[in-house]
Structure 1
Amino acid sequence: MEALLTNVPFSPAVMNMFRDAVVVTDAQGIILQVNQAYQDISGYHEDELIGQPPAKIKSGRHSKVFYESMWHALTTHGVWEGEIWDRRKNAEVYPKWLKIQAVRNDEGEITHYVGVFHETSNSSPSFHEKERLANIDPLTGLYNRHCYREFLARMIRTVAPNDRLVQLYLDIDRFKEINERYGYVVGDDLIAILAERIRIVWHEINDALLYPIQRDQEQLIGRFSGDEFLMAFRFDAREDIDLNQLLERLSATLSEPYKIRGHIIKVSCSIGTAQLNVDANDDDELISHAESAMYIAKQTGGDRSMIFTQSIQEQIERRKLIQQSLLQAVEDQEFELYYQPKIGGLSRRVCGYEALVRWNHPTLGMLSPVEFIPIAEESGAILPLGDWIFENACRYAKSLNDIGLIDLPVAINVSAIQLSDPSWLDRLMLTIDKVQLPPHLIELELTESQLLTDIENSTDIINYIRSRGIKVALDDFGTGYSSLSYLRNLPLDTLKIDRSFVSHLQEDQENYDLAIIKAVTTLAKQLGMALVAEGVEQATQERILRDIGCDQLQGYLYSKPIPAEEFLELCLKGLIHKQQE
């Protein structure tokens, strides 16, 4: 111990002048000196600490990435500050606010580190602690929304005319599903670890600059909301920066698997970017445009980056117009139902049909559900729209039944939002009673992701629906979270094979898609379910599916979705050949 003490920068008397806890280490992090406040808080005597690495007091709450980020900041910038959890001698884990400063010699080499901390669990936080809590996100240690905006606005005021300031807006794809599958504790851990990775990438990119502007400035990274993060880079005009490469580097780092509480979790992110004086003129516009680019990245499948363009702004404006006019459109009868027939695999006659909604927007023209249904789900407008679709599809089915076209069930798609609405089933049954449509002429189509999000609740709902005589189909089978154990337990009437499997079928050629369809056909028959193949567009596909024993076929080979009047004519004529578009 005496040899260690000869190199410490403070005398014991000076150390004990501090009311906060103080620890001094060498350049490798070995503890050289602690004051009395440190001993009182930790429960360790200095003899038990000197000569030991800081790992002796680790809480185990922080990831390897957390400590890598800390040491990266210390060796690069000479300072680190943030909340950290450590362990007392009695094994109690406690939080503290720690600031570590590097001490350098005349040659600029780091010789010591000095750490000063105080506990953050007391009920009367200091002024500085209150200020910190007002500005820092407690889970990640990053700036919160308010503080980030303030620092970004401050940075913008100091940007030179030729400098580049790039704003990134990052959102974790399908984070809600991660929370639902693994629980919120794992979700919080994921957020914290991902934040550490963002820190590391930020520093790596800034450290690689040839003409650094921010080398001595604080990192500008913030947690904007639950799973959304902001980060900004300021580049000298002389830097040769490829923004796409920067985004690829960030995405690659964040997509590495996360090991959390016994789980290995793979995530992806959607990232949007905007540049000051190119896409925006102030902090609000800069963040807004980066968010718009992120939203388009997410809407086009996620796991990608988008650089803001005027085209993106036009897409966002179009989306806003659609969202704002959705509810009024239901009242104004702007929606129309089209119907696509299902053909019997053996009879080659119409044996049912699917109701598909279209929107004749007064300014945008005819809109596909692919465009407006996701917006309706996000805005909540899917509930009144879904009710309208269900009632009008039932009324049409009743009209066909009344003129003698019996035993033609109508398939109606149901959104996950409807499924989770407590009053949806009551409204559904009231509509059936009002329209007086025999329940066996209704088939509700649900997707795998809807059902398996909450399997117990889904099973209860399906059992109730089927007890009232309504059929239930599993749509897009094979593209979601297919599990044979779930399939065995779900009380379903029909499986619909997704069009992606049908599209690759060819005469006299075995492939994986054909093998899958054969297996699903056998499975459906064993479970007593009907099988529908979607996306049949070629006679070759029809022949293969009929030979396999597929019960019903649906696709453009027979008819595209058509208005109610045309579908009635098709049924009356018994049309079985291909409709010309």
Structure 2
Amino acid sequence: MASWTGHMPTKDSQSLSDADQIVKLEREIKLLRQALGQSDRVRKQWLGAFNELKQTRKALSASEEMLRDILNTIPVSVFWKDENLRFVGCNERFAQDAGVTPEEIIGATSTLENWHQLDQQVLESGHAVLDMEERRRRPDGSSFWIRSNRIPLHDENGKVHGVLGCYENIDTRKNIELELKKSQTRLEEKVVARTKELLRANRALEQEVEERKQINSSLRKFSSAVEQSGSMVMITDSNGIIQYTNPQFTETTGYESAEAIGKSPSLLNSGRTPQDIYNDLWSTILDGRHWRGQLHNKKKNGDFYWSYLSISPIADEQGEITHFVAVSEDVTELKTTQQKMEQLALFDVLTNLPNRRLFKDRLEKALAHSLREKNKLGMIFIDLDNFKQINDTLGHDTGDRLLMSVSKRLISNLRIEDTVARLGGDEFTIVLSDLHSAADARHIALKLLDTVRQPFIIDGQEISISCSLGITIAPDDATDCSSLMKNADMAMYKAKESGRNTLRFFTESMNHEISRRVSIEKELKQAIQDNQFELYFQPQIDLRTGTISGAEALIRWHHPEKGLISPAEFIPIAEDTGSIIPIGEWVIEQACNVAKTINQGRLSEICISVNLSAQQFRDPALPRKVAHIINAIGLDSRLLEFEITETVLMENTRVASAILDGLKNLGVSLAIDDFGTGYSSLNYLKRFPVDVLKVDRSFVMDIPQDSNDMAITAAVLAMAQQLKISVIAEGIESDLQLDFLRQHGCEFGQGYLFSKPLPLTQLESYIQTAHPEHIRR
């Protein structure tokens, strides 16, 4: 119900003579009829919007369940559509009227032409269409009257991106209106007849008595309709003093009629409605026009509520305003739902940080301010390092709590004028306003690196994680939001490539690198389909006999335009994008075919070794996939070896042990690649079912010049002998290196001293022509 404030002019009472009593009665009847005729029931107007929901989590599920309960509880049919006028959602009451389920409505368009035209009108004009009365047909063929409202849905930038509609069944009110119109017609006919008959004295009294009976009958009907109305009804005089309230007014506001009558509607004033709304209200109704709007009112008990109000002025026969009729609805639940939907549209559900949509808006405003004030703005792109591993090993609930803790730490290390947002997953962005120089951004970024690096305690468990930061500065690097976000993203990727847990500033040279990276990323899938990959093989030699014992499979990419692309360039990109999985499976299949081919008819076996990427090794289905390939090709599993770096093995020893056991059960050989460059524990080395250690070429290349490398290599060989594990030395390029390794018991080796990596045809020739005298004794 409205809270009306402001000064109203008073009017003197007029004395009526006894002779005027009949005329006065006629005016009062007509006044009441007009007043009550204006008390149409105004229904609840819905506002709200909803974008896209990504994969739901517990927090989002709870919010959505609450919103669905609200929508399905209110006695109003509600729907909303997107910019293509397709249904995005509805409540159960709307679906019941349509004779379908809410799920069947989503994605459909209205088959009612007049509905579609009204929705299109709202979408194109950006203006609401309110209080449309129309008939709607039920699935069983019956029809009913509805009063509908449609409003445009706006995004943060004010652009219309959908339509929200609601309607109520007003059959009862329509029937009352029909009866009122009939009564009004009868009354008007009687008044005309009575006026004529009053001129004839012989029937004056008879007509007056009859009309009084009709008036009393109509008044009883009008009074019953208003008293039973679900809307709040208030009637005031021309000075704004309350003369009547219905029971619904008391039920909603807590004020009895006796408490409200004789007072101003300002008793509902909460102080929360802007004064300009009241000014517009009074100027409109004093001008004799109808007013509609929302007011934030207060109940008798002090509770606040939202009211959707419709006020109509009532004038006498001379056109003078004598009363005002106000009909209103409590729309607090709808308003609360709208606010929650706006929260969901602009803020991340998990962390309550601004989402991508709101971040872009704040970035635009901060950038405009920076350019106007001629100072610098910094943007930081943050990506957590190895977050997927935490999700995979500790579970998504733990990962979610870690993200919430990270967001709190980021906020605590920023100024009040800065903005931090979560774009999704483990990606965060930060806007640093009013910087003096890039050094200011570096100082803040270093603090963020340090705070994220500190251990987190999640459910009593200590979790350590780091992050990679990319930084760009405006206006030095760019003066538009799109370029700034792209630049920061590029710099973040360079930080990842530099070893993670570090930061990088954007430079112009990154543009070319990122363009090439994006190009390679797009072309990787096509390379698989077009068979642009080829396997090369580097022979592995038995240093005791000089014979070939195996070969390491190494992938090469022959790009039709870029030429030969190094694995060092495309393998990390394939790892990041997930393309490494199909590429890795292709390598395993080709290696198995080669192993079967080159061993046909041979007495001594040549084992083909395949490098497993980190992504492949995290796949719990890897042993099953390998088994399928081996069985399909018919390969003796002893002819296949897998190489895994010790860094990958130590990421999650529990998972690693399970994967290694699964592969070992297939009968394949297992090797730890680049041994000595990581951080493996000798205890785990003893527990893992490892057959081979590969000494990294970084230890071999400086033999015999570097005594430290010689000592480390000799220690690894001695340890392997004690554990009864074979050793392959990589990167052998000189006779001196070969002599040292043989003297310390190294069994196998590979390197350019023996052969560079060869395509299959050359490998086959090498196998045929290689002789033990290649190894100098």
Normalising TM by the smaller chain, what interval? 0.5 to 0.7
Match of 2:387 among 145, 170, 175: 175
The aligned amino acid for 1:219 is D
* Distance 1:272-1:259 versus aligned 2 partners, 3 A rule: closer
Give the deviation of 1:359 after TM superposition: 0.2
1:152 equivalent in alignment to 2:349:
no
Displacement of 1:229 in angstroms is 1.8
Following superposition of structure 1 onto structure 2, how do residues 537-556 of structure 1 map, counting pairs within 5 Å? 537-556=733-752
Letter in 2 for 1:168: I
Return closer, same or farther for 1:548/1:220 CA change in 2, 3 Å cut-off. Answer: same
Query: 1:228 maps to which residue?
Result: 427
How far apart, CA to CA, are the structure 2 residues paired with 1:552 and 1:569? 21
Distance 2:531 2:772 in 1: 32
Contact 1:466–1:472 (CA under 8 A) maintained in structure 2 = yes
State the Cα deviation string for residues 411-460 of structure 1 (Å, max 9, x = none).
11223433444654444334334433322111122233444445445444
Aligned position for 1:439? 637
Residue 735 of structure 2 is aligned to residue 536 of structure 1: no
Secondary structure at the aligned position of 1:359 is classed as strand
| AA in 1 matched with 2:766 | L
Q: Report deviation, 1:133.
A: 5.8
Q: CA deviation at 1:266?
A: 5.1
Q: Report whether the alignment pairs 1:218 with 2:417.
A: yes
Is 2:771 the counterpart of 1:572? no
Are the equivalent residues in 2 in contact too, given 1:390–1:412 (CA < 8 A)? yes
DSSP-derived class of the 1:160 partner: helix
Amino acid at match of 1:227: D
Greater shift, 480-489 or 291-300, is seen at 480-489
Give the residue type in structure 2 aligned to 1:448: E
Cα gap change, 1:465 to 1:249, in 2 (>3 Å): closer
SS at structure 1 position matched to 2:690: coil
Q: In the alignment, which of 699, 712, 717 is matched to residue 521 of structure 1? A: 717
CA contact (8 A) 2:378 2:441 kept: no
Q: Secondary structure at the match of 2:354?
A: coil
CA distance in structure 1 between the aligned counterparts of 2:392 and 2:526, rounded to whole angstroms: 33
Q: In structure 2, do the counterparts of structure 1 residues 530 and 163 end up closer, same or farther at CA, with 3 Å as the change threshold?
A: same
Q: Which residue of 2 aligns with 1:479?
A: 677
Give the letter for the 2:470 counterpart.
G
Aligned to 2:245: none
1:411 to 597, 609, 617: 609
Q: Distance in 2 between matches of 1:314 and 1:137?
A: 33
Please list the CA deviations of residues 121-150 of structure 1 after superposition, one character each: whole Å capped at 9, or x if unmatched: xx9978767655654446655333332222
Distance in 2 of aligned mates of 1:395 and 1:465: 18
Shift in CA distance, 464/270, structure 1 to aligned 2, threshold 3 Å: closer
Q: 1:419 to 1:196 in 2, by over 3 A?
A: closer
Counterpart residue identity of residue 295, structure 1: Y
Per the alignment, residue 142 of structure 1 pairs with 353
Indicate conservation of the 8 Å contact 1:344/1:350, yes or no.
yes
Matches within 5 A, 1:32-181: 134-137=345-348, 140=351, 142-161=353-372, 162-178=374-390
C-alpha contact (below 8 Å) 2:729/2:749 kept by paired residues: yes
In 2, distance between residues paired with 1:240 and 1:388?
Answer: 50
Shift of 1:337: 0.8
**Structure 1 stretch 296-305 or stretch 536-545: which is displaced more?**
536-545
**Alpha carbons of 1:497 and 1:286: their partners in 2 closer, same or farther (altered >3 Å)?**
same
Distance 1:278 1:576, change over 3 A: farther
How far apart are the structure 1 equivalents of 2:441 and 2:752? Answer: 40
Q: 1:549 to 1:200 in 2, by over 3 A?
A: same
User: CA separation in 1, counterparts of 2:628 and 2:396?
Assistant: 37
Equivalent AA in structure 1 for residue 410 of structure 2: I
SS in 2 for 1:402: coil
Q: Tell me which of 474, 477, 480 is aligned to 1:282.
A: 480
- Write the letter of the residue equivalent to 1:350: I
User: Who is 1:83 aligned against?
Assistant: none
Q: Structure 2: how far apart are the matches of 1:127 and 1:432?
A: 59
> Offset of 1:575 from its aligned partner?
5.8
Instruction: Decide whether aligned partners of structure 1 residues 304 and 416 sit closer, same or farther in structure 2, where only a CA change above 3 A counts.
Output: closer
Contact kept in structure 2, 1:140 and 1:195, CA below 8 Å: yes
1:198 touches 1:250 (CA, 8 Å); kept in 2?
Answer: no
1: CA distance between counterparts of 2:587 and 2:420?
45
Equivalent of residue 257 in structure 1, options 432, 442, 454: 454
Q: Which has the larger radius of gyration?
A: 2
Alpha-carbon distance in structure 1 between the residues aligned to 2:360 and 2:608 = 52
Residues 245 and 283 of structure 1, relative CA distance in 2, 3 Å threshold: closer
Q: Is the 8 A contact 1:254 1:269 kept in 2?
A: no
SS in 2 for 1:546: helix
Other-structure match for 2:517: 319
Deviations along 1:73-119, one digit per CA (max 9) or x if unpaired, are xxxxxxxxxxxxxxxxxxxxxxxxxxxxxxxxxxxxxxxxxxxxxxx
For residues 501 and 179 of structure 1, the distance between their equivalents in structure 2, rounded to whole angstroms, comes to 35
Asked whether the equivalents of residues 556 and 578 of structure 1 are also in contact (C-alpha less than 8 Å), the reply is: no
Match of 1:358 in 2: 556
**CA distances 1:247-278 after superposition (whole Å, capped 9, x unpaired):** 66335533653353666665432111223344
**Conserved in 2, the CA contact under 8 Å of 1:440 and 1:469?**
yes
Among candidates 371, 387, 395, match of residue 593 of structure 2: 395
1:198 and 2:410 are equivalent in the alignment: yes
Task: Answer yes or no: is the 8 Å Cα contact 1:144–1:223 preserved in 2.
Answer: yes
Cα contact 1:358–1:367 (8 A) shared by 2: yes
Rate the CA distance shift 1:561–1:137 in 2: closer, same or farther, 3 A. Answer: same
**TM-score using structure 2 length:** 0.51
- Provide the C-alpha distance between the structure 2 equivalents of 1:495 and 1:344, rounded to a whole number of angstroms: 14
Partner of 2:282: none
Q: Residues 559 and 578 of structure 1 are in contact (CA less than 8 Å); yes or no, is this contact kept in structure 2?
A: no
Distance 1:181 1:523, change over 3 A: farther
- 1:11-66 deviation per Cα after TM superposition (whole angstroms, max 9, x unaligned): xxxxxxxxxxxxxxxxxxxxxxxxxxxxxxxxxxxxxxxxxxxxxxxxxxxxxxxx
Find the aligned partners of 2:541 and 2:383 in 1 and give their Cα distance: 43
Residues 1:449 and 1:156: Cα distance change in structure 2 (over 3 Å): same
Letter paired with 1:465: L
Does residue 370 of structure 1 match 2:370? Answer: no
Give 3-state SS (helix, strand or coil) of 2:751's partner: coil
Q: Contact between 2:468 and 2:503, CA under 8 Å: does it hold in 1?
A: yes
User: Separation in 2 of the partners of 1:429 and 1:391?
Assistant: 11
| 3-state SS, counterpart of residue 242 of structure 1 | helix
The 5 A counterparts of 1:446-485 are 446-485=644-683
Contact 1:557–1:578 at 8 Å: present in 2 too? Answer: no
Q: Is the 8 A contact 1:502 1:534 kept in 2?
A: yes
CA-to-partner distance for each residue in 1:314-354, whole Å, 9 max, x for gaps? 22222222222222212322111111111223223322110
CA positional deviation for 1:386? 2.0
Q: Which amino acid aligns with 2:663?
A: I
Deviation at 1:485, TM superposition (A): 2.6
- Gap change, CA 1:265 and 1:381, over 3 Å in 2: closer
**Which residue identity is paired with 2:758?**
I
Structure 1 counterpart of 2:723, one-letter code: L
Q: Is the 1:272–1:306 Cα contact (8 Å) retained in structure 2?
A: yes
Over the aligned positions, Cα root-mean-square deviation in angstroms equals: 3.3
**Could you tell me how far apart the structure 2 residues matched to 1:433 and 1:283 are?**
54
Identity of aligned residues (%): 36
Q: Separation in 2 of the partners of 1:184 and 1:471?
A: 34
Matched, 1:380 2:539: no
| Structure 2 residue identity aligned to 1:226 | G
Equivalenced residue count is 440
